[in-house]
């Protein structure tokens, strides 16, 4: 092995090198580099490392200095011009030293010092700690080669110094391990208790939730104290370990504070005072909830944010990070619930007539004769609410609204809407609205559009103003019945509960003669609504749990003329709108069936929707195949003509339906049963709409296939899916791949609420 060359450093040079090293240390201390994330420790460590590298650089070979300066130059490109300039100058100086074989220890130290300062500023991060790794490699080469060229006694002192540093750091890590051991039990217990508290909050058990939150806060605060104890403080000076200690302590500390704030807010919430009795809602009790629920919203939001911030820290060790996942999801759900409750308390009194009476049009529809927004309207009522007192002020059948007042009505709605739905009666050639448009007014799958038009039509017919529209189908009515109790139809010697009501409304009622059936249907609605308006209803949290599935799955949809109240409907997921993606990478899909035969056969319709997008996420281009399989399980006989007959001359049991595909993509090709077809093309709310009327004979299956292509913008691919609330939920199959054939995500199952499907799973559309 060859002898290592020594660079002679005399007394004068040594003093100059020391001065340069000191200047390098001071500059590094103010560089902003964060090896530990602790300001004082960072300044001391950065200064020490810079001084050592600069000092040893005085004896480093020219090629090591050149390499370090070159790495610094490469990392500085695109940054401040000064860094690029001094890096280039350092390369020139190092190369001059090598070319002339000059000793120049002060110049070598200067080159090393410049390289170190620039390396501290690197921001090249294709992967976590990439910049740190590059700086460590370049700077380490200077340190190692400079160390090897120093005299033996100097190297010995460096070794002893390094050993002392290592021993000190090991001791600091050991002390932190002891502190972490003490913190582990209260941290785990606090985390588990926090999950219990979130469960109680989701279930509406306010008292138990508050107690659990206080307990979680105490346990998490104990864990924070252990991680912040004097025993753990030396670890602040150990890179990487310091960040993990700080991240863990910050996570449990913020969670403790947020849990205490949430507990304080919950203790001021008294849902027991919020009652609905005898057709009256206690508005004073509702108004008193606004302030504590707003505080709860902030506190739970802070809790969710604390857990999210902790999870996003790249310094957390894997076991701690993985345990946060469930808490993050649960806290996120609870935060949305708290936000909804706060919004409800804020706008609820106005919706319930606190300042002025409110009137709401309620349409009862039957999805056995399908429409894009549920089904055919048969009956309707108007509910008036004045200072919390609720009463039915008007009611009737659809035919009662088909008056000459519509002949002169010009809908105040978009040209796109009129162009698309004029064919159904939204606009007639002679002007006005077709009187029978009431039967198809909810063909659109977008509840805000439907509600707006229904409001205008009802006000034209009645002369009365309304503040919003509700659409409730048979399953939605069953959800209402679940909170009021069963009803009895004495004339039929029949008692209907939540389980039997839907079957009666979509099938069994048609065994009754039409004149009697209309009376029975009015009786069912009247009895259900009277139970709601005059009975003693369950606690609000129990009612919410019963009604939520119906509202979120499109069986109870609503629209308000008041923006703040519409925002609440959107928050709770009962606005029934067609999802319109507004950011890149989000695709959209909806398939609707609209009954065109005037029968009640759609309770026998089974649909399978397959969507296979091939995605270029770099460009946002999507090429996809949509396959819609429709199976008509209706019999050819054995049921009344009202169910399996038709207004058109088609065989009994035939399902004649208008299938409409909503997508942002362009149609390339379409087939029905394997044969080419040309769907009608339209547009609605940033979607292309492809419409095709088909007949499905009893017992038959028809397959529609669409080839689509277009751009949705760059970003992570996600699909916003809007299901149609039909008696039989769809089977949805998704197979999303890249253009190279790599799987992004897949799904096979039933989704009954508007959702976003992605590699993260299925989440509610909001």
pLDDT single digits (tens) 546-586: 788 888 899 999 999 999 999 989 988 899 999 999 888 99
* Closest CA relative to residue 354, chosen from 316, 387, 310, 322: 387
The whole-angstrom distance between residue 138's C-alpha and the CA centroid of its chain comes to: 43
Of 245-249, 308-312, 519-523, the range with the lowest mean pLDDT is: 308-312
DSSP state, residue 422: G
Q: How confident is the model at residue 688 (pLDDT cuts 50, 70, 90)?
A: very high
Q: How confident is the model at residue 340 (pLDDT cuts 50, 70, 90)?
A: confident
Q: How confident is the model at residue 519 (pLDDT cuts 50, 70, 90)?
A: confident
Question: What is the average per-residue pLDDT within 377-387?
Answer: 93
Of 297-301, 399-403, 606-610, the range with the lowest mean pLDDT is: 297-301
Inform me whether the pLDDT recorded for 458 exceeds 90.
Answer: yes
Stretch (H or E) spanning 710: strand 701-711
- Alpha-carbon distance of 699 to 686, in angstroms, equals 36
Reported pTM: 0.76
Check residues 527 and 251 and name the one with the higher pLDDT: 527
Distances (CA, A) of 404 to 432, 434, 456, 462: 10, 9, 14, 11
pLDDT single digits (tens) 192-235: 888 888 788 777 777 888 898 899 889 989 988 988 888 888 88
pLDDT single digits (tens) 488-498: 888 888 898 88
pLDDT of residue 271: 67
Stretch (H or E) spanning 43: helix 39-57
Check residues 371 and 312 and name the one with the higher pLDDT: 371
Compute the 3-state secondary structure of the chain and give helix, strand, coil in percent, each to the nearest 5. 50, 20, 25
Percentage of the residues of the chain whose pLDDT score is greater than 70? 91
Of 263-272, 412-421, 713-722, the range with the lowest mean pLDDT is: 263-272
Stretch (H or E) spanning 287: helix 283-288
Query: Phi first, then psi: what are they for 693, rounded to 5°?
Result: -85, 130
Burial class (CB in 10 A: 0-12, 13-18, 19+), 30: exposed
Query: Per DSSP, which regions of 528-665 are E strands?
Result: 556-560, 586-595, 605-616, 621-632, 655-663
pLDDT of residue 84: 82
DSSP state, residue 698: T
Distances (CA, A) of 170 to 41, 156, 182, 230, 316: 16, 21, 19, 16, 19
The whole-angstrom distance between residue 428's C-alpha and the CA centroid of its chain comes to: 42
Inform me whether the pLDDT recorded for 545 exceeds 90.
Answer: no
Percentage of the residues of the chain whose pLDDT score is greater than 90? 42
Q: What is the dihedral of CA 436, 441, 444, 447, to 10 degrees?
A: 180
Average pLDDT, the chain: 86
- Alpha-carbon distance of 265 to 214, in angstroms, equals 11
């Amino acid at each position: 092995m060859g002898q290592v060359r020594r660079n002679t450093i005399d007394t004068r040079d040594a003093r100059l090198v020391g001065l340069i090293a000191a200047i390098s240390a001071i500059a590094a201390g103010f560089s902003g580099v964060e090896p530990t994330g602790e300001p004082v420790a960072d300044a001391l460590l950065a200064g020490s490392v810079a001084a050592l590298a600069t000092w040893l650089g005085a004896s480093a070979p020219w090629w090591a200095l050149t390499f370090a300066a070159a790495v610094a130059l490469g990392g500085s490109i695109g940054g401040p011009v000064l860094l690029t300039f001094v890096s280039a100058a350092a390369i020139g100086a190092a190369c001059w030293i090598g070319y002339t074989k000059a000793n120049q220890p002060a110049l070598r130290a200067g080159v090393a010092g410049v390289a170190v300062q620039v390396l501290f500023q690197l921001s090249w991060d294709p992967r976590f700690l990439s910049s740190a790794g590059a700086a460590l490699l370049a700077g380490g080469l200077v340190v190692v080669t400079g160390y090897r060229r120093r005299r033996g006694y100097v190297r010995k002192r460096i070794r002893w110094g390094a050993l002392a540093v290592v021993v000190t750091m090991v001791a600091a890590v050991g002390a932190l391990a002891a502190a972490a051991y003490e913190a582990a039990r209260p941290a785990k217990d606090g985390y588990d208790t926090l999950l219990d508290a979130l469960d109680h909050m989701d279930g509406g058990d306010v008292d138990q939730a508050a107690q659990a939150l206080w307990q979680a806060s105490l346990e998490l605060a104990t864990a924070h104290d252990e991680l912040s104890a004097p025993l753990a403080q030396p670890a602040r000076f150990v890179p990487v370990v310091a960040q993990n200690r700080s991240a863990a302590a910050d996570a449990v500390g913020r969670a403790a504070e947020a849990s205490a704030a949430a507990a304080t807010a919950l203790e001021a919430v008294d849902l027991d005072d919020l009652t609905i009795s005898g057709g009256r809602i206690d508005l004073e009790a509702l108004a008193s909830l606004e302030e504590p629920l707003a505080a709860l919203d902030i506190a739970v939001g802070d809790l969710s944010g604390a857990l999210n911030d902790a999870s996003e820290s790249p310094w957390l060790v894997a076991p701690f990070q993985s345990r946060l996942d469930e808490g993050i999801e649960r806290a996120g759900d609870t935060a949305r619930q708290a936000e909804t409750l706060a919004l409800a308390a804020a706008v609820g009194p106005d919706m319930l007539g606190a300042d002025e009476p409110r009137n709401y049009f309620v349409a009862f529809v039957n999805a056995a004769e399908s429409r894009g927004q549920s089904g055919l309207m048969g009956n309707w009522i108007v509910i008036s609410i004045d200072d919390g007192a609720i009463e039915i002020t008007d009611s009737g059948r659809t035919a009662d609204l088909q008056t000459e007042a519509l002949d002169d009505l010009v809908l105040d709605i978009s040209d796109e809407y009129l162009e698309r739905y004029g064919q159904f009666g939204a606009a007639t050639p002679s002007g006005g609205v077709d009187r029978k448009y009431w039967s198809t007014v909810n063909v659109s799958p977008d509840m805000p559009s439907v509600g707006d038009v229904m409001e205008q039509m009802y006000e034209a017919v009645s002369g009365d103003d309304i503040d919003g529209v509700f659409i409730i189908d048979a399953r939605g009515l069953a959800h209402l019945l679940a909170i009021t109790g069963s009803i009895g139809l004495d004339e039929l010697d029949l008692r209907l509960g939540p389980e039997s009501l839907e079957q009666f409304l979509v099938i069994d009622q048609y065994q009754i003669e039409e004149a009697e059936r209309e009376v029975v249907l009015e009786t069912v609605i009247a009895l259900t609504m009277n139970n709601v308006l005059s009975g003693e209803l369950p606690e609000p949290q129990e009612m919410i749990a019963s009604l939520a599935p119906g509202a979120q799955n499109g069986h109870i949809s609503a629209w308000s003329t008041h923006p703040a109240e519409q925002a609440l409907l959107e928050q709770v997921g009962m606005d029934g709108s067609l999802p319109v993606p507004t950011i890149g990478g989000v695709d959209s899909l909806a398939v609707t069936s609209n009954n065109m035969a005037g029968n009640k056969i759609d309770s026998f319709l089974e649909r399978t929707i397959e969507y296979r997008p091939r995605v270029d996420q770099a460009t946002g281009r999507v090429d996809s195949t949509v396959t819609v399989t429709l199976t008509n399980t209706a019999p050819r006989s054995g049921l009344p003509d009202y169910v399996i007959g038709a207004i058109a001359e088609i065989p009994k049991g035939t399902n004649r339906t208008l299938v409409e595909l909503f997508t942002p993509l362009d149609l390339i090709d379409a087939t029905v049963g394997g044969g080419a077809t040309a769907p009608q093309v339209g547009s609605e709310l940033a979607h292309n709409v492809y419409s095709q009327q088909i007949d499905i004979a009893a017992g038959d299956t028809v397959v529609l296939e669409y080839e689509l292509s277009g751009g949705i913008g760059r970003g992570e691919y996600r699909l916003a899916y809007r299901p149609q609330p039909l008696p039989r939920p769809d089977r949805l199959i998704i197979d999303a791949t890249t253009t190279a054939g790599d799987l992004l995500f897949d799904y096979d199952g039933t989704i009954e609420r508007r959702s976003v499907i992605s590699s993260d799973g299925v989440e509610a559309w909001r």
